[in-house]
């Protein structure tokens, strides 16, 4: 199969890899696979190991070496490359330098999937990755207070790894809602939460907040009295409320 891929599929050098020049109003530029050009690399996968966060990057232009200083375009943080490895299944090969076209991994780099790295000679960012909107949501609640902190830690980790996974707290119901690309997608993260973080949590259908509108005209006349000595004070309000026409929303 790999021989057929090598023989029949087009070379990566034939594909135009695009970035945007942030100093030129996000003008689209074509990247070169020349390792002598300024570095442009993309973090496309994050993995948590017993050694810490492992960040997979693809180098589109230039090169990166152990001890180099690179910049995360998103937050402009400078990062010194410590351990640089090439992955062979679950085995790691320590290397000192990687060039355009290589897929390698870095240790100890705090970032998100989709972040662009450069060496400072250019101010480029890779073109944004299309991230589809979630298609399903579930509520998730820790089984006890001990699991609450672990669930929060797991959710923060998962959104860094996977941009299609999202969570928020519903302002009306107070529920924590997780959203993703399908029921299986969310079940996998719920299982990872239990296996990797020891966080036991229940998932279910999110609560729906119902709102009721008035159905007929209603009049009101109210007097509020406040007795503080002497004659006292009072306030009166009178009026009516009635439903508006269907499809009409007039905010007063």
CATH code, domain carrying 162: 3.30.70.870
Render the burial of 130-158: b for 16+ CB within 10 Å, e for the rest. eeeebeebbbbebeeeebeebbeebbebb
The contacts of residue 155 (CB under 8 Å, 6+ apart) are: 167, 176, 178
Same domain, 56 and 91: yes
- Residues 19-42: what's their mean pLDDT? 93
- Residue 215 binned pLDDT confidence (cut-offs 50, 70, 90): confident
Q: What is the pLDDT of residues 84-115, one digit of tens each?
A: 999 988 888 999 999 998 999 998 888 888 89
Q: Which of 103, 126, 149 is the last residue of a domain?
A: 126
Q: pLDDT per residue over 130-186, tens digit each? A: 788 999 999 999 988 888 899 999 999 898 888 899 999 998 888 999 999 999 999
CATH of the domain at 27: 2.40.30.10
Q: Name every residue whose Cβ is closer than 8 Å to that of residue 106 and which is 6 or more positions away in sequence.
A: 54, 55, 57, 81, 82, 83, 84, 85
Specify whether the CB–CB gap between 29 and 20 falls below 8 A: yes
pTM for the full predicted model: 0.68
C-alpha to C-alpha distance for 224 and 52, rounded to whole angstroms = 64
Instruction: State which of 98, 126, 154 marks the end of a domain.
Output: 126
Instruction: Give 126: exposed, middle or buried? Use CB within 10 Å, 0-12, 13-18, 19+.
Output: buried
Look at residue 30 in the predicted model and tell me its pLDDT: 93
């Amino acid at each position: 199969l790999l021989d057929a891929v090598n023989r029949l599929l087009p070379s990566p050098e034939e594909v135009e890899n695009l970035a945007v020049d942030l100093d030129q109003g996000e003008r689209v530029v074509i990247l070169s696979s020349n390792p002598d050009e300024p570095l442009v690399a993309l973090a496309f996968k994050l993995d948590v190991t017993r050694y810490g966060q492992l960040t997979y990057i693809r180098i589109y232009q230039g090169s990166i070496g152990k001890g180099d200083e690179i910049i995360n375009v998103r937050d402009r943080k400078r990062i010194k490359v410590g351990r640089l490895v090439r992955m062979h299944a679950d085995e790691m090969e320590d290397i000192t330098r990687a060039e355009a076209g290589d897929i390698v991994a870095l240790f100890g780099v705090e970032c998100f999937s989709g972040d662009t790295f450069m060496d400072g000679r250019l101010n480029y960012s890779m073109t944004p990755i299309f991230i589809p909107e979630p298609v399903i949501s579930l509520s998730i609640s820790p089984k006890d207070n001990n699991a609450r902190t672990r669930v929060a830690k797991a959710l923060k980790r998962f959104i860094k790894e996977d941009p299609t996974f999202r969570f928020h707290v519903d302002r009306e119901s107070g529920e924590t809602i997780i959203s993703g690309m399908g029921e299986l997608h969310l079940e996998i993260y719920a299982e990872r939460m239990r296996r990797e973080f020891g966080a036991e949590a229940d998932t279910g259908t999110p609560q729906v907040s119902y709102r009721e509108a008035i159905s007929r005209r209603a009049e009101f006349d109210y007097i509020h009295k406040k007795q503080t000595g002497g004659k006292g004070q009072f306030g009166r309000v009178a009026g009516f409320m009635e439903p508006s026409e269907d499809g009409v929303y007039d905010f007063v």
